[in-house]
Amino acid sequence: MKLVIGLGNVGIHFEGTRHNLGFDTLDTFAANHSMVWQNKDKFKAVIAEATLNKQKVLLVKPITYYNLSGSAVQVLKDFYKLENTDIIVVHDELALPFGTIRTRNAGSDAGNNGMKSIIASLGKDIPRIRIGIANEHSLTNDAADFVLSQFSREEREKLPQIKNEACDLIDAFINQPKLLHESIVIK
């Protein structure tokens, strides 16, 4: 079984923001695989379930708010008795330029509060897909304001390709026992 966690915030005023790129990527993955979202209060999440490559896969969007995602991930890990290697987190990354996607099998939170919460709950050895959101405005704006801002028109035009590349990495994670270190730059 694999858990694919997307980070984001619940609520209409967060839709389309940089910080919801994890949620948005999972929405694309769910649509590509005809998966349907269901609210699961006991797991503090909205979940879509399917069997892919003969393996049960749960897509998870925690409803705890971004910075508290670790509590929802911990509940799911404990319930399904999973190892950290069965879990991957998809999130926006302010430390990477927009259009860059990087995978990691473990590491620090790099200042990402959602990952900080997950690491506090599960440890540093959590596979992740980091999707860059930084641009020329990220250095001059408050980080919290920037991550909660909408993408520019030019960025929105590139988002489908970025999300599809990230979905390909999710498929690779599901189909391979180990996520390879990979870096993709979309121009």
Tokens of 28: 């694309």
Q: Are 118 and 64 in contact (CB under 8 A)?
A: no
Q: How many Å apart are CA 124 and CA 105, to the nearest integer? A: 9
Q: How many Å apart are CA 47 and CA 61, to the nearest integer? A: 6
Q: How many Å apart are CA 33 and CA 28, to the nearest integer? A: 9
Query: Which listed residue (13, 19, 137, 181) is catalytic?
Result: 19
Three-state DSSP class for 139?
coil
Phi-psi region for residue 81, left (φ > 0), alpha (ψ -120 to 50) or beta? Answer: left
Q: Check if 19 is active-site.
A: yes
Residues with active-site annotation: 19
